[in-house]
């Protein structure tokens, strides 16, 4: 009887754990309230870093932002100096520091840009949210639920891979220190990320704080790039959803006048409604251009550093073994996911904006008055020029990602041979 009772209790506990996990991951499901999905992951990540556009400037948040930014900047400096110092002494240790430092430096740049443009981003975020809230109707609501959930899931994937990568670095350092202690060898006092510290900070009991500092530096790096990348992706997907809503509105408005399904009593009402649609389309174009102006330099820097990080990770996977390979494999997956999301977001904007011209042309616009036809043709001509998130030298898109991958594939053998010979 006691064994039966124990098994029942264990089953009850396991069921409770499953329910807790389901509640925790509920935000990834389509049943999660649509309005709560709006910029969910970037808002969460950037608040960990210390600020989110539109949150205000309380003293507590300012102090938290300054603390995290100091940790991030000093950690990046310490990593970079470690890599430069060991580059001529031990290439393996140098690359072990220089690989993650590129992500850290890029997080510093991203957070600095977001903070500098926080008022502009606050306006863009709020305006996109307002436009999305105005879109109702069965098709629009279904699109919103599906696209918002997709944006949240993809943004969460970057946060998950980044957090896992940082945690693996910490576990690796902890294992190295523990095994040395267990074998009664000299403890190397490894930190999660290779950094140069004053010698007193690398001895007990202060080393515990140094270890925590390096560990938190990794998480702030993740929060910085996951928040920025998620903001970029979510904005692009929401813009794509707004462009799809224009397609639905235009096709409903331009139903065949002889079909008996027309909701408007006169061509004058149709013209007025078309004016509102054109104004909304123009505002979306303006939002994309303003967002592109803010994010262009960040996106360019991200592509440049990500290519370097992937190349260094591949070399490190050849130089390391066992646990080190796992660390850099997950790191490569995290950086590749970031690149994919930037290119996916750019592709969504390009395709949805170009599809607008086709969708409007496929409507029954030719059954309406000449004035309405002229307005529709102007919409088609305007929509034929696809919206592009402009970045110096290229536009983020899936074809651009393919091109970057080809370049890495061409140069990777040469890079690997160089470091192996070293």
Indicate the domain borders of the chain.
35-421
Q: Categorize the per-residue pLDDT at 167 as very low, low, confident or very high, splitting at 50, 70 and 90.
A: very high
Cα–Cα distance, 258 to 270 (Å, whole number): 15
Share of the chain above pLDDT 90, in %: 28
The rounded distance, in Å, linking the Cα atoms of 274 and 285 is 16
In this prediction, residue 306 has a pLDDT band, given cuts at 50, 70 and 90, of confident
CA distance 254 to 369: 11
| Local confidence band at 9 (pLDDT 50, 70, 90 cut-offs) | very low
Tens-place pLDDT, residues 361-413: 888 878 888 888 888 888 888 888 878 887 777 778 887 777 666 655 554 55
| φ, ψ dihedrals at 250, nearest 5° | -65, -45
Looking at residues 301-328, what average pLDDT do you find? 76
Neighbouring C-alpha atoms within 13 Å toward the C-beta of 78:
20
How does pLDDT run across 116-158, given as a tens digit for each residue? 998 999 999 999 999 998 888 888 888 999 999 999 999 999 9
List of E strands, 301-363: none
Inter-helix orientation angle 370-383/267-319, to 10°: 10
- Report pTM: 0.86
Average pLDDT of the chain?
82
């Amino acid at each position: 009887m006691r064994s039966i009772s124990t098994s029942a209790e264990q089953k009850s506990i396991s069921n409770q754990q499953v329910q807790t996990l389901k509640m925790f991951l509920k935000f990834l499901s389509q049943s999660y309230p649509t309005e709560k999905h709006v910029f969910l992951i970037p808002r969460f990540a950037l608040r960990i870093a210390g600020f989110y556009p539109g949150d205000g400037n309380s003293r507590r948040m300012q102090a938290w932002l300054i603390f995290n930014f100091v940790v991030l900047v000093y950690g990046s400096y310490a990593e970079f100096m470690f890599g430069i110092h060991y580059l001529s002494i031990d290439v393996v240790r140098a690359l072990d520091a220089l690989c993650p430092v590129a992500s850290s430096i890029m997080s510093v740049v991203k957070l600095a840009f977001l903070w500098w443009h926080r008022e502009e981003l606050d306006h863009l975020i709020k305006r996109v949210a307002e436009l999305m809230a105005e879109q109702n109707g069965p098709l629009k609501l279904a699109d919103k639920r599906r696209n918002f959930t997709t944006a949240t899931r993809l943004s969460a994937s970057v946060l998950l891979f980044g957090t896992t990568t940082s945690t693996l670095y910490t576990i690796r350092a902890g294992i190295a220190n523990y095994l040395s202690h267990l074998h009664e060898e000299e403890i190397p006092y490894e930190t999660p990320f290779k950094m140069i510290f004053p010698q007193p900070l690398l001895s007990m009991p202060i080393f515990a704080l140094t270890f925590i500092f390096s560990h938190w530096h990794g998480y702030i790096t993740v929060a910085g790039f996951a928040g920025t990348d998620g903001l970029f992706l979510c904005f692009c997907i929401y813009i794509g959803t707004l462009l799809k809503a224009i397609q639905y509105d235009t096709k409903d408005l331009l139903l065949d006048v002889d079909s008996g399904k027309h909701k408007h009593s006169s061509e004058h009402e149709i013209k007025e409604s078309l004016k509102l649609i054109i104004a909304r389309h123009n505002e979306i174009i303006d939002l994309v251009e303003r967002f592109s102006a803010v994010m262009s330099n960040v996106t360019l820097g991200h592509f440049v550093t990500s290519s370097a990080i992937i190349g260094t990770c591949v070399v490190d996977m050849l130089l390391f073994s066992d646990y080190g390979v796992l660390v850099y494999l997950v790191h490569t997956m995290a950086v590749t996911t970031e690149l994919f999301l930037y290119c996916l977001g750019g592709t969504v904007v390009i395709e949805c904006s170009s599809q607008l011209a086709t969708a409007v042309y496929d409507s029954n616009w030719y059954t309406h008055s000449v004035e309405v036809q002229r307005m529709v043709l102007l919409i088609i001509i305007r929509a034929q020029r696809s919206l592009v998130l402009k970045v110096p030298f290229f536009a983020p898109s899936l074809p651009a990602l393919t091109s970057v991958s080809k370049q890495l594939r061409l140069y990777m053998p040469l890079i690997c041979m160089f470091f192996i010979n070293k």
